[in-house]
Amino acid sequence: MHSQFVARRSTAKMSDDSPPTSEQFNRLQELFEKTFKAARVGIWECSLPDETLTWTDTVFELFDLDPRSPLRRDDIVALYTPASRKDLGRIRSAAIDEGEGFTLDAEIVTAKGNRRWIRITALVERADGRAKRIFGMKQDITAEKAMFDHIRRLTEIDPMTGLASRAKFESVFSDVCACSTGAVHGLLLVDLDGFKAVNDALGHQAGDACLTTAARRLADVVPEAVLVARLGGDEFAVIHACPSAQHLEEAGHRIVNALAFGWGSFPNQLRISASVGGAIIANGAAPKDVFAQADGALYRVKAEGKCGFRRSADSQIVAERRAG
């Protein structure tokens, strides 16, 4: 068995060292082309400075164009969405100037009106210090993009209530805190009072339905909120434009009123209410500090008997400073 193994290895090595025949070369080229076509990958080239385009058939397919169609770069660039067209122009110009390649995911609207995402890979060839041509691959990534968008949406939406998830809240909250210009915003933290009794007396299925109802009531009463999120359990958060401490208080009291309702059937109906704490988001404040202020105000409400709103002690000062 050992001698047979050595013989096979020796034969394979001799074959590897031999130059490919024209038949082998044609077969490999055919496999190469079929693989690229199956992967929806095409080759493109643009000569410089005359901007003459050359495409393989797959690139024509990506843009829903007949392979016999004339190629004018201005016409092709017009098929990119405005945002992708801007990105492509900026990155391509920099690549030509610097001689560096790039990769860009861009959205197009094809000649037949189909929206499609393509991944552009580009290399720049230079001669005598000047860009001579830019070339590379274009690949259809529409399915990949849809899958990642779906995954992203799953992480950004609370599956039970349909509100934003905690991860989405933290992202938006950080952005709002970091913003140094524009409208003043406030953070409102909401805890449901009496929710544990629903789970204990009526079961978790009734508890889930109660949470869904509370989430809908909360979203309905702050329709212009930047974000309404479920942080977990029976805890919610609202980011809302608040030009003044008074606006923050008005929003807080609307939430308290909206989340006062009965749950279950008479005579075993349970009362649900909400404790709400609010804080104005200071210019460039650390998210943890703003959250702590709103959380402190929320626990003041809890300590005072629940079912009410309080704002942090610093909110009036912050609002006046931002307004001024």
pLDDT of amino acid 13: 40
Task: Write the Ramachandran bin of 204: left for phi over 0, alpha for psi from -120 to 50, otherwise beta.
Answer: alpha
Exposed / middle / buried, residue 287 (Cβ in 10 Å: 0-12, 13-18, 19+): middle
Where does the pLDDT of residue 244 fall: very low under 50, low under 70, confident under 90, or very high at 90 and above?
Answer: confident
- CA-based nearest residue to 289, from 300, 281, 297: 281
Percent of the chain having pLDDT more than 70?
A: 84
Question: Is there a common fold for 20-145 and 157-323?
Answer: no
- In this predicted model, what pLDDT tens digit does every residue of 265-296 receive, in sequence order? 777 789 999 999 999 998 788 999 999 999 99
| CA separation for the pair 324, 318 (Å, rounded) | 10
Q: For the CA atoms of the chain, what is the radius of gyration?
A: 31
Q: Is residue 316 scored above 60 in pLDDT?
A: no
pLDDT of amino acid 280: 94
Average pLDDT on 5-16 reads: 38
Cα 140 versus chain centre, distance: 20
Where does the pLDDT of residue 172 fall: very low under 50, low under 70, confident under 90, or very high at 90 and above?
Answer: very high
CA atoms within 13 A on the CB side of 319: 21
Average pLDDT on 292-315 reads: 92
- In this predicted model, what pLDDT tens digit does every residue of 126-142 receive, in sequence order? 998 899 999 999 999 99
Class of domain 157-323: alpha beta
234 classed as catalytic: yes
Predicted TM-score (pTM) of the model is 0.62
Give how far Cα 255 sits from Cα of 115, 151, 187, Å. 41, 31, 13
pLDDT of amino acid 317: 44
Domain residue limits, the chain:
20-145, 157-323
Question: What is the bridge-based pairing of β-strands 308-311 and 270-280?
Answer: parallel
Catalytic annotation, pick one of 208, 234, 289, 314: 234
Q: Which residues pair with 181 in a beta bridge?
A: none
Q: Which CATH architecture has domain 20-145?
A: 2-Layer Sandwich (3.30)
Where does the pLDDT of residue 7 fall: very low under 50, low under 70, confident under 90, or very high at 90 and above?
Answer: very low
Exposed / middle / buried, residue 310 (Cβ in 10 Å: 0-12, 13-18, 19+): buried
SS3 call for 164? strand
